[in-house]
A and B are shown apart, each in its own frame.
Chain A
């Protein structure tokens, strides 16, 4: 898509800093290409927790009569907004819901609140419990970026080009922080500081991830 960041460019640009001429495992010597891809992928997953940079809207959830809980998308990190149809629902905690109705887990009606606590990960509760099936429950959430797989079937991230600097630091911090012949802890620590700076900046611009 236009506006996507191509992570293969990050790999190309980081090679000199790894004293390698190409991304072949023989050239990388102390690392493998899959290591570098995994370092970037782990960096993106950490970034999704630290800053709300990947925001999505899912319309896959629909109401079911008498069903109080619903599964959230697999790639969700934190829920930003929930609607019932086009009506915004209010976030609430268990205590608030219990104070309104101690049978809130079974009382049916048109939902006006959503909650996450005491339900476990990836599960959202609605209160009152829907009394109508098939209504859309759109959710806006901070998400994980699509996984960067070792086979390089996906190499794109929907992010601005300057994020390449962040991914470069993620590679260098892990590559030189790993125990082995090329271990350089001073360099790794500095790169971790650079990562922290990027994350603080993005949390400032785009809000927290979770």
Chain B
């Protein structure tokens, strides 16, 4: 699906004119699609790429983003044919308290936060390493023939997110309508995240997608149990209530 098609569908489905929108601008809808694509890719780690990061000679630490500006999370690091094992600083200390000055072929690495790596042992010369990492998507500009990088079968989820996002500012009924679309988006991200997780396990990747199904969606949709005098709260978890979102949470108090 082209970006322009996604934008048209968003505008049409909020009862606006796709050719001359009134209630939202095309820039607003495009920003919404970009935000949705960013979130989808971060939740699912569905986009991956491989690049070269050079470990400087005798240097156990460095930064990532100057080499990989689109870095989200490490998936696999190799030096030549050797795969480096991921480790925490605690692991490295237990294995060798001199790991910061140990020379030799690298065997373990640590990637911390958005922008920090450590490696041990180190070589006495600059050493290229190959990083396979989850990356953020290229920003959509709305140009002709442009297609989002997320899998095509999930492009409708970007339409859903776009509708949700432009309705968000209305609050009340507009927000309630938007939340229905956001539920569809989250369902799609959960489904694809499960797929990527299985694929990543098979490839023995170092980072797996976030378990979105373990996040309590009631925190997003703010559903409270309906309590009447003398009656317990709704006994059926997930029961849709007027104005509520079916399947959007467990119906419990959060």
A-contact 0/1 string along B51-93, CB 8 Å cutoff: 0000000000100111011111100000000000000010011
Residue of B nearest to A83 (CB): B100
The answer to whether B210 touches A81, judged by C-beta atoms less than 8 angstroms apart, is no
Task: Decide: A158 near B24, CB < 8 A? Known: A87-B98, A88-B92, A204-B210.
Answer: no
Minimal beta-carbon separation of A14 from chain B (angstroms): 9
Q: Is the CB of A86 within 8 A of B69?
A: no
Does A193 contact B38, Cβ atoms closer than 8 Å? Answer: no
Number of interface residues of A (CB under 8 A): 49
B175 interface contact, C-beta 8 A: yes
Do B66 and A160 touch (CB < 8 A)?
no
How near does chain B come to A41, taking the closest CB pair, in angstroms? 17
**Contact code string B88-109 (vs A, CB < 8 Å = 1, else 0):** 0100110001111100000000
Check if B89 sits within 8 Å of A81, measured CB to CB: yes
Q: Which of B11-19, B112-120, B146-154, B228-236 forms part of the interface with chain A? A: B112-120
CB pair A158 B222 closer than 8 Å? no
A residues 138-153 near B (Cβ < 8 Å) are 140, 142
Contact B89 A158 (CB under 8 A): no
Contacts of B196 in A (CB 8 A): none
B127 within 8 A of A: no
- Interface residue from A81, A161, A187 paired with B175 (Cβ < 8 Å): A187
State the Cβ distance, A138 to closest chain B Cβ, in Å.
Answer: 8
Residue B171 contacts which of A54, A176, A194 (CB distance < 8 angstroms)? Answer: A176
What is the size category of the interface that chain B forms with chain A?
A: 35 or more
| Beta-carbon contact of A162 and B89 below 8 Å | no
Interface residues of A in 175-197 (CB under 8 A from B): 176, 184, 186-187, 189-190, 193-194, 196-197
CB of B168 within 8 A of CB of A16, answer no
Complex-state Cα separation, A90 to B94, whole angstroms? 9
- Are B72 and A194 touching (Cβ within 8 A)? no
Task: A17 to B166: give the CA distance in the assembly, Å.
Answer: 7
List, in ascending order, chain B residues with CB within 8 A of A165's CB.
35, 38-39
- Tell me if A95 is interfacial: C-beta within 8 Å of chain B: no
Question: How far is B75's CA from A142's CA once the two chains are assembled, in angstroms?
Answer: 22
B65 to chain A, nearest CB (A): 3
Q: A1-B65, A165-B39, A206-B113 are in contact. Are A88 and B97 (CB under 8 A)?
A: yes
Q: Does B205 contact A (CB under 8 A)?
A: no
Are B41 and A205 in contact, with the CB atoms below 8 A? no
Whether B115 contacts A190 by the Cβ 8 Å rule is: no
- Verify A140–B98 contact, CB threshold 8 A: no
Q: Is the CB of A16 within 8 A of B25?
A: yes
The proximity string for B residues 216-233 relative to A, scoring 1 for CB distances below 8 Å and 0 otherwise, is 000111100000000000
Chain B residues at the A interface, C-beta cutoff of 8 Å? 24-25, 27-28, 31, 35, 38-39, 41-43, 61, 64-66, 68-73, 89, 92-93, 97-101, 112-116, 136, 139, 166, 168-169, 171-172, 175, 179, 207, 210-211, 215, 219-222
Q: Please give the residue numbers on chain A whose beta carbons come within 8 Å of chain B beta carbons, in ascending order.
A: 1-4, 13, 16-19, 52-57, 80-81, 83, 86-88, 90, 140, 142, 158-162, 164-165, 168, 172, 176, 184, 186-187, 189-190, 193-194, 196-197, 200-201, 204-207
18 A-B pairs with CB atoms under 8 Å apart are A2-B66, A13-B35, A53-B113, A81-B89, A83-B100, A88-B92, A140-B89, A160-B65, A162-B39, A172-B168, A176-B171, A186-B222, A187-B175, A190-B179, A190-B222, A193-B219, A201-B42, A205-B72
Given contacts A160-B42, A204-B211, A205-B207, could you give 5 more A-B pairs where the C-beta distance is less than 8 Å?
A3-B64, A80-B112, A87-B98, A160-B70, A204-B210
